[in-house]
Amino acid sequence: MFSCEFPRMGTGDHDFLTISVDDEAGTARLAAQLARVLGVGDVVLLQGTLGAGKTAFCRALIRAVLDEPEALVASPTFTFSQIYSADHLVVTHFDLYRMGEPEEVFDLGWDDARAEGAALVEWPDRLRGLRPTDALILAIDLDAEREQARTFRFSGPLDWAKRLGEVRL
């Protein structure tokens, strides 16, 4: 079960899509939809509290890009980044939770990740002024009443709204 809502555009905040899912399978279906539109140079900034499901979403998206539902996709919590290569796209998954200064992201391959593929970024607040203005922002909210349910709020430049116009579960 899921619900989908399209907020009115033109309000200036560029919130353009809200989708709620009941479980991790719904999260995986949504991640697979986003995987279909990702391309070289794209950055997805994932926001949410600890345990919100940022890593689960990234894992499902990477598996969809690789077209390998059982692929081993490790959390980059301690390595800060992991690179996954498919025939059509390289995806770099960043977890910046433990990063100190924003400039440290360059030591993790930030420029190459953006130039050669797509980047998924957990804890993007750590980027501060280095946060890309053309990024898709995905805020993940927990459901207080249902443990596995999540709400995904998409925002960013209106170009992303057009690209995600066909996203449905």
* Cα–Cα distance, 99 to 77 (Å, whole number): 10
- Given a cut of 70, whether residue 10 has pLDDT beyond it is no
* CATH tag, 2-163: 3.40.50.300
pLDDT band of 5, cuts 50, 70, 90: very low
In sequence order, what DSSP letters do the residues of 91-136 get, joined into one string?
Answer: EEEEE-TT--SGGGGGGGTHHHHHHHSEEEEESGGGGGGGS-TT-E
Instruction: Compute how many other C-beta atoms are within 10 angstroms of the C-beta atom of residue 156.
Output: 22
pLDDT number for residue 169: 63
How confident is the model over 80-97, as a mean pLDDT? 96
6: pLDDT strictly greater than 90: no
**Which position has the higher pLDDT, 13 or 159?**
159
Q: Is the pLDDT of residue 12 over 50?
A: no
Q: For 133-138, what is the mean pLDDT? A: 95
Does residue 11 have a pLDDT over 80? no
74: confidence class by pLDDT, cuts 50, 70, 90: confident
Which band of pLDDT confidence, cut at 50, 70 and 90, is reported for residue 4?
Answer: very low
Give pTM, 2 decimals. Answer: 0.89
Q: Is the pLDDT of residue 65 over 70?
A: yes
Q: What is the pLDDT of residues 98-108, one digit of tens each?
A: 999 999 999 99
Domain ranges of the chain: 2-163
Residue with the two structure tokens 């059509």: 88
pLDDT digits (tens, 9 = 90+) for 30-50: 999 999 999 999 999 999 999
Model confidence at 1: pLDDT above 80: no
| Composition of the chain by helix, strand, coil, percent to 5 | 30, 25, 40
Q: What per-residue confidence (pLDDT) applies to 166?
A: 73
What is the helix (H) or strand (E) element at residue 34, kind and residue range?
helix 24-37
- State both tokens at 11: 């309000």
